[in-house]
Amino acid sequence: LQPLNTLLTDLCRVVDRAVRPEVISLWLPTSDGSGYRKTAQQGRQVDPGAEAPDVISEASPLATWLVLHRQLLLRDDPALADLSWQAAVTELGSLGAELAVPIGGDQELEGILLIGPKLSGDPYFHEDVALLGALAAEAAVALANARLHHDVVRAREQTEAILETMPSAVVVVNRAGQVEWFNDAAERLTGLHATSVRGRELPTSHPLAGLVRGTLGDGQIRHEEVELGGGSVPRVYLVCSVAPLVSPQGEVRGAICVGSDLSRVKELEAETRRVERLATFGAMASGIAHEVRNPLVAIKTHFQLLPEGCTCGAQEEQRQFAAMATREIDRIDTLLDRLIETRDLPRTTFAPVNLGEVLADTLLLLQARLSRDSITVVRELESDCWVQGDREQLEQLFLNLLVNAKEAVAGSGEIRVHCWARKGDLKTTAIVEISDTGPGISEAIQNTLFEPFVTTKSRGGGLGLAICRAIA
């Protein structure tokens, strides 16, 4: 609005210097188009009389006459005298003005300039009227340009605000491939800093650079999925659409790239595949458990009878062998039970559960084993951390995690159990964090950690975390 305000002030100043009136006021259309509002004024009426309005209605006699005739209105011009002129002159006098000058083009009235009597007391001569008419014509052009500039600036600001608040990455480059626009989402998703790429080409090694160069080269629209990050940087999956910016003459002037974050979709797809694999594995495990268990019973029975029927000198060795085989068969039987657990979790019954109490009871179950191994347990359990959940399954979940933590610290160390409620604007989230001072989890198995039979233990079955995930 600053250029427009400057223009209005300059216009009033020019008119003041030209005719030296007591007061000058400029009235511009209201935002709803219902009339004209006083926007600028210079000077002051000597005798304003009644309180003058700030808005001239579009249907008022003065506005109607100016729109119809598109010429200056003088209070003492009897040549134009008729009923409509008389009503307009009356309204003009009530506004404390001697002269009304319409400002506008052929299509609409851009404004009204009201001028009071001259300070000298002289009437307005033909030369004054001609000069004011010329000024009004120039003012109409200037007002139109100022409004156009204002509209362009406002449109640009709105566009910039939209682009900055978009959750998708937006990158705009010119014909030379130099970045002209790089919004906040682009900075967050691509791993590039806006200050390092604005006015420059995208790094050649960056996946987006090849897409942009291709579109600048052939002017074709591209839709591709790219993977960013990796290693120590979180992976981000973007589906990118790159389109050319074409001039009216058909020349490629640049390109715009819009990238939408697919990371959450990828996570859900991976979770769906994991669930499908677990379902398939569960069906297979059920069949295997049924088929293996029957012969195991028979084998175990024969091994238990083997020492009694042995009459050779190696009876003691046979007894040890039978005992070892029986133990291993029992371990296989336990493994079969855990396999079935991955398939058939008990039916969930939801009820209010205090997570702090569940964790305290679970730690009580492990207290003797933790004390024997000189393991220190640090508890940070909020007393008011409630969720809707299945208490038995949550106990099993936490028990598995705590047993893993105990085995990870290898006989001595510290386990920290933290439970708290994080309050947000729309919801409260309950968080349980179990950490230990063990060696951690190697990167090699982090992506497959919750798959069945994935383990770092020499005698582990690799099903504990698979069960934990199924419960969660």
Residues constituting the chain: 472
CB 345 within 8 A of CB 471: yes
DSSP, collapsed to helix, strand or coil, labels residue 69 as helix
Average pLDDT over residues 379-391: 90
Q: Which of 282, 299, 280, 235 is nearest to 261 (CA)?
A: 235
Average pLDDT over residues 160-168: 79
Each residue of 265-298: pLDDT tens digit? Answer: 877 777 777 777 766 666 666 667 767 776 777 7
Rounded CA-CA distance 465/353 in Å is 22
Each residue of 52-66: pLDDT tens digit? Answer: 688 888 889 988 888
Enter the tokens of residue 139. Answer: 């003012």
Rounded CA-CA distance 437/410 in Å is 10
Enter the tokens of residue 284. Answer: 């297979």
24, β-bridge pairs: 42, 115
DSSP, collapsed to helix, strand or coil, labels residue 359 as helix
Each residue of 327-357: pLDDT tens digit? Answer: 777 777 776 776 666 555 556 788 999 999 9
CB 288 within 8 A of CB 452: no
Burial 420-439 (b: 16+ CB within 10 A, else e): beeeeeeeeebebeeebbbe
Parallel, antiparallel, or unpaired: how do β-strands 375-381 and 413-423 relate?
Answer: parallel
Distant-in-sequence, close-in-space partners of 79: CB < 8 Å, separation ≥ 6: none
